[in-house]
């Protein structure tokens, strides 16, 4: 499963986006855990309200779960991936919502956690979350017996046309187009 995550704000906009049926054949809330509200808009509004007691601007962590094009993931697969992501990122027990989208017979899911620890009233730090999610994504592909995408099969197997941060910085210092260095 491809996992893409980000820290974010915008509770109302995110809830609108996740519950938007335009462009999706089906939208369903699989889980709301740790919230008083029983709908997604209310749940994410709660996360916003709690974050106001802190200085945290990006009080949510949003994760998309995308199985390969030729496979259909079950609700149990999405729950397992969400649980494993939660454990890997250190968000255990945090309030979360899971929404499933289906479009043209293809299912994917979104998971949103509150980053605010209610006991400490501090945001949970998520160091190296992209690396952790990449490694977990690879594990999920292997566990399901799915063919690994090139980028996960060999982390160095990226497009040769992309330039590195070092190449871009060198080009910037020299005042030339990074493509010339490549």
What is the chain's pLDDT, residue by residue, as a tens digit (182 residues)?
999 999 999 999 999 999 998 888 899 999 999 999 999 999 999 999 999 999 999 999 999 999 998 898 999 999 999 999 999 999 999 999 999 999 888 899 999 999 999 999 999 999 999 999 999 999 999 999 999 887 787 765 555 566 777 787 888 888 888 777 66
CB 15 within 8 A of CB 23: no
What the chain holds in terms of domains, given with CATH numbers, is 2-148 (3.30.930.30)
pTM: 0.82
Report CA 83 to chain centroid distance, whole Å: 13
pLDDT of amino acid 80: 97
Cα separation of 78 and 99, whole Å?
10
Half-sphere exposure of 84 (CA within 13 A, CB side): 19
Give the Å distances, CA to CA, from 52 to 42, 43, 45.
Answer: 15, 15, 11
Cα separation of 20 and 98, whole Å?
14
């Amino acid at each position: 499963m491809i996992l893409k995550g980000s820290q974010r704000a915008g509770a109302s906009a995110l809830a609108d986006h996740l519950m938007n049926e335009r462009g999706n054949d089906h939208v369903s809330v699989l889980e709301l855990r740790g919230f008083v509200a029983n709908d997604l808009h209310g749940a994410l509004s709660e996360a916003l309200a709690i974050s106001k007691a802190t200085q945290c601007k990006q009080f949510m962590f949003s994760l998309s779960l995308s199985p390969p094009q030729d496979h259909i993931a079950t609700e149990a697969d999405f729950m397992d991936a969400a649980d494993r992501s939660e454990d890997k990122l250190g968000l255990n027990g945090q309030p979360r919502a899971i929404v499933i989208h289906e479009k043209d017979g293809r299912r994917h899911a979104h998971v949103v956690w509150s980053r605010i620890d209610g006991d400490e009233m501090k945001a949970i730090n998520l160091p190296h979350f992209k690396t952790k999610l990449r490694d977990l994504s690879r594990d999920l592909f292997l566990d399901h017996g799915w063919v690994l995408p090139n980028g996960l099969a060999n982390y160095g197997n990226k497009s040769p046309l992309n330039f590195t941060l070092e190449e871009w910085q060198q080009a910037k210092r020299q005042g030339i187009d990074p493509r010339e260095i490549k």
